[in-house]
A = this chain, B = another copy of it.
Amino acid sequence: MSYQPVSPLIVQSLIDIVGSSQVHSSLSKCTAYGQDKTEDLLFLPEVIVLPKTVVQIQQIMRLCSQNQIPVTPRGAGTGLAGGALPVCGGIVLSMECLNQILEIDEANLQVTTEPAVITEVLQEKVQEKGLYYPPDPASRGSSFIGGNVATNSGGPRAVKYGVVKDYVLNLEVVLPNGDLIWTGANTLKNSTGYNLTQLMVGSEGTLGIITKIVLKLIPLPSHSLLMLVPFRSPTKACAAVSAIFQAGITPSCLEFMERAAIDIAANYLQNNTLPIKEEVQAHLIVEVDGNHLDSLYLDCEKINSVLEQFDCGTILLADDQTTKNTLWQLRRNLNPAIKQYSAVKKADTVVPRAALAELLKGIHQISTQHGIRAINYGHAGDGNLHVSLLQEQLPNPIWEQQASSTLQAIFKLVKSLNGTISGEHGIGWIQKKYMPLVFNPVELQLMRAIKKTFDPTSILNPSKIID
């Protein structure tokens, strides 16, 4: 697809729409908006536009569709797959000014929000009303809820409460041609026509621009208990995960962390409050929640008896908020800690839960064969393992080549285990070359046709997900 440059005339038209204070093209701004949290990738946009209203977004899209100018919508720029990178140049459309929670509907347990509300802020605001929005990606302190919807993100609580898609009831969306739609209704059930809502969730800004979001909420559980469980064998830790569910318990979190990941994070946080024994090679974090504390203690006892069968060490039970916070801080900082430690390429592998041990073993075999160290952690309860391939001392050309081959081999393994290549980060820019590993040509063609239906001239977030 060929595009037109953002001419001075177009820039003036953009200024006419949003005002001169909302249009930027300095190198520093272009550099800032030309990257997200994906490796060290940088693609300079020609211009950055910060609309304040939905009508302005419609006008911008009409202008760009008439002039064949690529538009890359951007949330908080916390993505790990390059979904917000303006890889074809053109305009970065930052949603940051649409940042209001519009209504918390306590009677219906719903919230209507603009997309640029920080996830954690939204969670706190509804929590003040005794309500709960469970999806909590590690980046929730900085990511926008709109970006969470665009990537169908998850987080630790997905294992009990589901991912973002399970909370999105209805979306207001500006289509590439500037038309405005609502995808559904503000109802818990809906069998009225094709599910445009779920087609939009996880479409990474390639089908439309999300301008309002109606989310389902649930009553806030009043209690939780957290356990940190050490294992000598990472494989046994993975195997224990399935056994907990088979014992009839659905924890509210079930996280896995390899020893190396914990050490790097503890160092990053300069946290020495968790003395970890030398023989420990992995941890599980297990959380249960609910309204009846007695029942939770019973659940923990049952979980303990399961875990003991997998040769776990002494379990730390965190029932006070300080210890819980320490553990979560550690977990949430794994990604930035590893990124600070070394240049890294990430994979967001996901397999059926019981295949986790086999996946972990395979990842280490493959990466070792390629001379690369892999560090793994993730949402074990969902079979969702985040793989970090570390460059460490490898020279650049070898690193790029070997990392690419390693990812290719890991994704092939994932597919052979009935899994797929992204659980919650999305495909964006960096994973799209691997899509043919998990979809056949007919399936890929169907996705292309859907893209074309929404965006016939491919101006909206072009070159993402699929070519």
- B-contacting residues of A (Cβ < 8 Å)? 105-110, 130, 151-154, 158-159, 162-163, 165-166, 175, 179-196, 198-199, 201-203, 207, 218-220, 222, 242, 245-250, 290-292, 294-295, 298-299, 348, 350-355, 379, 382-384, 418-427, 435, 438-440, 442-443, 446-447, 449-454, 465-466
Tell me the complex Cα distance, A299–B355, Å: 37
Closest 4 pairs (CB-CB, A-B): A198-B198, A107-B354, A185-B420, A189-B423
List of B residues within 8 angstroms of A246 by Cβ: 106-107, 109, 219
> How far is the CB of A391 from the nearest CB of chain B, in Å?
25
> How far is the CB of A111 from the nearest CB of chain B, in Å?
12
Oligomer: number of copies = 2
Q: Is the CB of A423 within 8 A of B245?
A: no
List of B residues within 8 angstroms of A192 by Cβ: 420-422, 427, 435, 438
> How far is the CB of A50 from the nearest CB of chain B, in Å?
26
Q: Is the CB of B250 within 8 A of A187?
A: no
Q: Is the CB of B165 within 8 A of A188?
A: no
List of B residues within 8 angstroms of A353 by Cβ: 107-109, 188
List of B residues within 8 angstroms of A298 by Cβ: 292
> How far is the CB of A177 from the nearest CB of chain B, in Å?
9
> How far is the CB of A125 from the nearest CB of chain B, in Å?
17
Tell me the complex Cα distance, A247–B131, Å: 11
Q: Is the CB of A195 within 8 A of B202?
A: yes
User: Which listed residue, B193, B348, B384, touches A439 by the CB 8 Å rule?
Assistant: B193
Residue ID in chain B nearest A177 by CB atoms: B442
Q: Is the CB of B201 within 8 A of A195?
A: yes
Q: Is the CB of B295 within 8 A of A440?
A: no
User: Which listed residue, B196, B245, B435, touches A109 by the CB 8 Å rule?
Assistant: B245
> How far is the CB of A9 from the nearest CB of chain B, in Å?
28
Q: Is the CB of B193 within 8 A of A427?
A: yes
Tell me the complex Cα distance, A247–B425, Å: 35
List of B residues within 8 angstroms of A290 by Cβ: 295
> How far is the CB of A56 from the nearest CB of chain B, in Å?
19
User: Which listed residue, B180, B183, B187, B447, touches A423 by the CB 8 Å rule?
Assistant: B187
Residue ID in chain B nearest A354 by CB atoms: B107
Tell me the complex Cα distance, A247–B452, Å: 47
Q: Is the CB of A418 within 8 A of B186?
A: yes
User: Which listed residue, B190, B198, B383, B449, touches A420 by the CB 8 Å rule?
Assistant: B190
Tell me the complex Cα distance, A192–B154, Å: 13
List of B residues within 8 angstroms of A110 by Cβ: 352
Q: Is the CB of A194 within 8 A of B450?
A: yes
Q: Is the CB of A193 within 8 A of B465?
A: yes
Tell me the complex Cα distance, A154–B292, Å: 28
> How far is the CB of A431 from the nearest CB of chain B, in Å?
8
15 A-B Cβ contacts within 8 A?
A: A107-B352, A152-B195, A158-B188, A158-B189, A162-B162, A185-B418, A187-B351, A189-B383, A189-B423, A190-B202, A190-B423, A192-B420, A194-B451, A199-B199, A292-B298
